[in-house]
Amino acid sequence: MHHRSRLGLLAVAIALPALVLTACSAPQGGDSDGGDAATGGTLKLAGNSDVLYLDPAASYSAPDYQIHRALTRTLFAQVPGEGDTDRSAIVPDLALDIPTQDNGGISEDGTVYTIDLQEGVEFDAPDGAREIVAEDVVLAAKRICNPVSPSNALSYFTDTIVGLAEYCDGFSTVDPTVEAIRAYVEGNDIEGVQATGDHTVQFTITQPAADFIDILALGVFLAPQPVEYLDYLPDSPELRQNIISSGPYRIAEYVPDESFTLERNPVWKADLDPVRKANVDAIEIAMGQDAAAVQQQLEAGTVDMQWADTVTPTASVPALLAQNDERLVIGGDGAIRPYVVINTLSPNADGAFGDTVVRQALNFAIDRAAVQQILGGPGLAEVATQILPPEVLGTEQANVLDVPENGDAARATELLTEAGYPDGVPVRLLYRETEPYASIAAAMQQDLEAAGFQVEMKVTTQNAFYSEFLLNQDITEAGEWDIAIAAWSADYFGGRPYLVPMLDGRGYAAGSPNFGGWNNEEFNGLIDEALAAATPEEANEKWIAADAVATEDAAWVPITFARTPVFHSDRVGGFEYLSWTKNGDVTNVWIED
């Protein structure tokens, strides 16, 4: 069964009032060519919330990634892509090379990945500096599915690495104590993750996977972890106070929900780190501040960068664009925000939403351009006519249904008549009470009623939207909702993290991110072929074809692809938008006097 983490489902939505921005005026890449890097000083960040998880085994949010960029060396690292702010590139970090068949890092059959690690890189361990070795990567793989705080992206790894699913099944039954967890980790091996030398780790996967490097580079899940972590419950308060650094900074002080202070890691070696320049001497992070307060401090220069999910308030964006303020950077992260999920399992209206033609009518009824305006205009949202964001595959958008951006109420009505509903179809529209979703729902209600749908509005809280409705199989199958305004932010730019969890209907069950239970044999076959493809090019062909099938069958209604406005102070040099953290890279900016 394919299954996406619950945290990816709770994609953060920016509360955006109805302002109109022009795409051509949005700053893009930052000021990476703004001069020679300076060293020294303290970089100050401020934002709304604490990390979600600090333990690398579970870290899986923007603030988690932001802080681990400074603390943790990884096998491979995400860096800003060339030429825009929507893509990222993967480069070696601790690994000496990106494995390929040509360099011998990937076996001829595409199932064995051999990764050689740099020598001389050390943990800032409590008993003194200790070299990182291949067994530390094996330990990371073993901790990824611990029974206390497992990775929320686990299925990427269990679906690909030989023996990991079986190992994790056993781990799930272990008592959640330090002793039981240590005993399981030390007493069990994963067939597909082996240290074949002091500085060589080997991964064996179940079948060729063109995106396995993307999976290895995901988050910090497979970053080498020190054995001392087995002395604590995963992501416990005690472990959070004893994080061991391998990156250029270490935690000097951490006050939960209030602040972090990072200082230089004395055992970090600049010449062994190809990713992080570590220009500043210290990093201070203040939490518990809303976006408007942070923006005031950024413009005044008392704070340098935003932290966590804090972004530039939309109310501030038009003036900044008008001034061509280079401190504003609008970047993408591949988010589909929002889209309308359709409950194909609903019994309402004699099962109308299981009918492709009715679902196509929904696609024609909704005015995507109106939602775009609610979200801030073309500068902050791009109208979507397919499921995969175009930057994922590097292609222009398709529009297989030929849906106008403003919708077509007359065509939607025709389709309902064709489907046998000349008097329209009742529909329960589920949405969150928070903005922008309340405004979007109101606009959609008008669109749907103009096309012949009889809309029943159903409002709920942010948390209940997913937990009590979309992830609840009984509620879904009972028809407590027919359509819902959802959002998705995927883990990397590839077909797997979008199309597999959201639309593979073969594994539909409680908790499935295929919220509406859509299932299509042709689509399923195409994603199987994509997952087994030997090269990214071959995989992309299949992902594109699968997207077309899902879009034509109206699995759901894509609305817009979101963009993220971030801001930095005058003091910051070298700012480049990194989609992995949805902000700049704290280890590569510098402070200018």
Q: Which of 268, 277, 275 is nearest to 246 (CA)?
A: 268
Write down the pLDDT at residue 315.
Answer: 85
Which DSSP string corresponds to 282-303? EEEEE-S--HHHHHHHHHHTS-
Would you say residue 3 has pLDDT above 80? no
- Rounded-to-integer distance, Cα 378 and Cα 22, Å: 5
How confident is the model at residue 492, as a pLDDT? 87
Mean pLDDT, the chain, rounded, equals: 92
What confidence score (pLDDT) does residue 394 get? Answer: 75
| 54-82 mean pLDDT | 94
Copy the structure tokens of residue 283. 């990093």
Q: Distances from the Cα of 146 to the Cαs of 55, 56, 141, 236, in angstroms?
A: 11, 12, 10, 12
CA 62 to CA 583: how far, in whole Å?
9
Task: Give me the mean pLDDT over the 447-458 stretch.
Answer: 98
CA distance 155 to 158: 5
Residue 17: its pLDDT value, please? 34
* Residue 35 confidence (pLDDT): 62
Q: How does residue 81 score in pLDDT terms, banded at 50, 70 and 90?
A: confident
| pLDDT above 60 for 84 | no
CA dihedral sign, ordered 403, 405, 410, 413: positive
- pLDDT on residue 28: 52
Query: pLDDT category, 31, cuts 50, 70, 90?
Result: low
Distance between CA atoms of 229 and 216, rounded to whole angstroms?
21
Give mean pLDDT, residues 470-480. 96
For residue 24, what pLDDT is reported?
34
Q: Is the pLDDT of residue 543 over 60?
A: yes
Residue 391, pLDDT above cutoff 50: yes
Burial class (CB in 10 A: 0-12, 13-18, 19+), 120: exposed
Residue-wise pLDDT tens digits, 293-330: 999 999 999 999 999 989 999 889 989 999 999 999 99
Listed range (56-60, 84-88, 258-262, 268-272) with the worst mean pLDDT = 84-88
Q: What is the per-residue pLDDT for 493? A: 87
CA distance 340 to 298: 35
pLDDT of residue 29: 54
List, for residues 328-348, the tens digit of each pLDDT value.
999 987 899 999 999 999 999
Confidence of residue 30 (pLDDT cuts 50, 70, 90): low
pLDDT of residue 23: 34
Q: Where are the alpha helices (DSSP H) in 419-490?
A: 437-451, 462-464, 473-477
| Whole-number percent of the chain with pLDDT over 70 | 93
Is the pLDDT score of 292 beyond 90? Answer: yes
